[in-house]
Amino acid sequence: MKFLPFDHFTIKTSLTKNEAMKRIESLFKKRPSSSILKGTVYYGGETLTHTFNIYKIVKHFNRLVYPRLVGSITQDKEGSTIKVKVRFSIMFNIFLSIWFGSISLFVLFNIFIALKSLSISDIRKEPLFSLVGFYIAVIAGFNYCCIEYRKEMKELLQAQVIED
């Protein structure tokens, strides 16, 4: 979803279920990818028999900020189908809820005060700009991470991404 910090996609690969899981597990062996903006990136997570949970470990950044991939692999005739969900961590969702909730209450309070005095010019615009600006930054960052995750999974599994 472009306007909410949730995403999901399906990957179709010719690899078997076991081969796909081995490639996903190979991410955890400190496979760095680096760039000037990102720093050195390592992957962490866990895999079970047919599910996985992957997160990025970026030097100088808290891993709670980055979305995590949660997925499952199923075998079919042509290979494997991997269903992936991209979500923020629970702690970051709690932080976002508190942040957006408090600013939203402040905006609503200002609107209520302005309506009570019947003067629209009394509405303070800074909290509204803060709310909108922070929302745009969070969604833009999340969508950028989703695009990067799709590219990395596509390259890793030699697959095609099927949009959902």
- Report whether 164 contacts 9 (CB < 8 A): yes
**DSSP state, 45?**
E
Cα separation, 44 vs 63, in Å, equals: 10
Reported confidence tier of residue 72, pLDDT bands at 50, 70, 90: very high
Q: What is the pTM of this model?
A: 0.73
pLDDT 10s digits, 33-58: 555 455 566 777 888 888 988 887 76
Q: Quickly list DSSP for 133-163.
A: HHHHHHHHHHHHHHHHHHHHHHHHHTEEEEP
Q: What percent of the chain clears pLDDT 70, i.e. is strictly above it?
A: 80
- Report whether 112 contacts 37 (CB < 8 A): no
C-alpha distances in angstroms, 35 versus 3, 29, 32, 40, 76? 27, 19, 10, 7, 37
Q: Is the pLDDT of residue 128 over 70?
A: yes
In the chain the beta strands, taken as DSSP E runs, fall at 6-13, 33-35, 39-47, 51-58, 68-75, 80-87, 159-162
Contacts of 95 (CB under 8 A, 6+ apart): none
The strand pair at 6-13 and 159-162 is best described as antiparallel
C-alpha distances in angstroms, 112 versus 100, 103, 108, 120, 131? 18, 14, 6, 10, 17
